[in-house]
Amino acid sequence: PSTSSFRIDNRTLKIDVNVKDNALAPRYCGITISNLKVGTSPAWLQNRLKAIGLTPKNNVVDVTNYVLHELGQPLHAFDANKIKGNKVIVKTVAAGTKFTTLDDVERTLDAEDLMICHAEGPMCIAGVFGGKDSGVTEDTTSIFLESAYFNPVSVRKTAKRHALNTDASFRFERGIDPNITKYALRRAALLIQKTAGGVVTSDIDDIYPKKIEDFQDKH
């Protein structure tokens, strides 16, 4: 679908993105959307998700799941108010760091696990599973929306290490299309605005220092 109607409404909520490990996160895009209202998704969206066996959660999470299955690009929405220091840092953390995932399980991180962090600690296991304390709830009014390409081997090892098999890791492990990262972000932003309202309040950060060459079959 066309994303030509996507536009930046203002630049009132800037989250600084710092990718410390470009080998593990070759491409990372993010944007903020403010003044949205988290609630029940419209019937069309719920029905699409139910048709492929997914349980609707709320309009923001449902849109990320919808675009995941529509385009094969996993997305993650963070509650922007929970991002301490207004910083998103993509890096590994010290081995032994404790981290509680969305399923209420406290996990012990490995030095090779790529994490999405704020100024004070981790928020999400990159490409695998979100954290309990940074997710979207009914009280969320602004989000930082992530669309990225993560290293397939790194995601596979981390998912296996923590015995986590998610829709996101399933795709990242197999290598997704690094050319649709930004398009998927715009697509999801438009659908979130359609279902939850809100305005786009930052430029798109697109950190992509070394372009991944298209795969050419030599035979």
Residue-wise pLDDT for 125-184, tens only, equals 999 999 999 999 999 999 999 999 999 999 999 999 999 999 999 999 999 999 999 999
Are the beta carbons of 133 and 166 closer than 8 angstroms? no
Task: Give the model confidence (pLDDT) of 204-216 as tens digits.
Answer: 999 999 999 876 6
pLDDT value at residue 216: 66
pLDDT value at residue 207: 98
- pTM of the complete model: 0.96
pLDDT value at residue 182: 98
Distance of CA 50 to the CA centre of its chain: 22
Task: Give the model confidence (pLDDT) of 68-118 as tens digits.
Answer: 999 999 999 999 999 999 999 999 999 999 999 999 999 999 999 999 999
pLDDT value at residue 218: 62
Average pLDDT over residues 12-19: 98
Average pLDDT over residues 9-19: 98
Kindly list the strands in the beta sheet with 16-19, ordered across the sheet, starting from the edge strand earlier in the chain.
16-19, 87-92, 114-118, 121-125, 129-130
pLDDT at 219 over 70: no
Distance CA 21, CA 54 (A): 33
Task: Give the model confidence (pLDDT) of 151-164 as tens digits.
Answer: 999 999 999 999 99
Distance CA 90, CA 8 (A): 24
Task: Give the model confidence (pLDDT) of 186-200 as tens digits.
Answer: 999 999 999 999 999
pLDDT value at residue 213: 84
pLDDT value at residue 86: 98
In angstroms, what is the C-alpha Rg of the chain? Answer: 16
Share of the chain above pLDDT 90, in %: 97
Distance CA 117, CA 109 (A): 13
Sorting pLDDT into bands at 50, 70 and 90, what band is 1?
very high
Classify burial at 216, counting beta carbons within 10 Å of its beta carbon; exposed 0-12, middle 13-18, buried 19 or more: exposed
pLDDT at 217 over 90: no
DSSP 187-219: HHHHHHHHHHEEEE-SPPEEE-SSPPPPP----
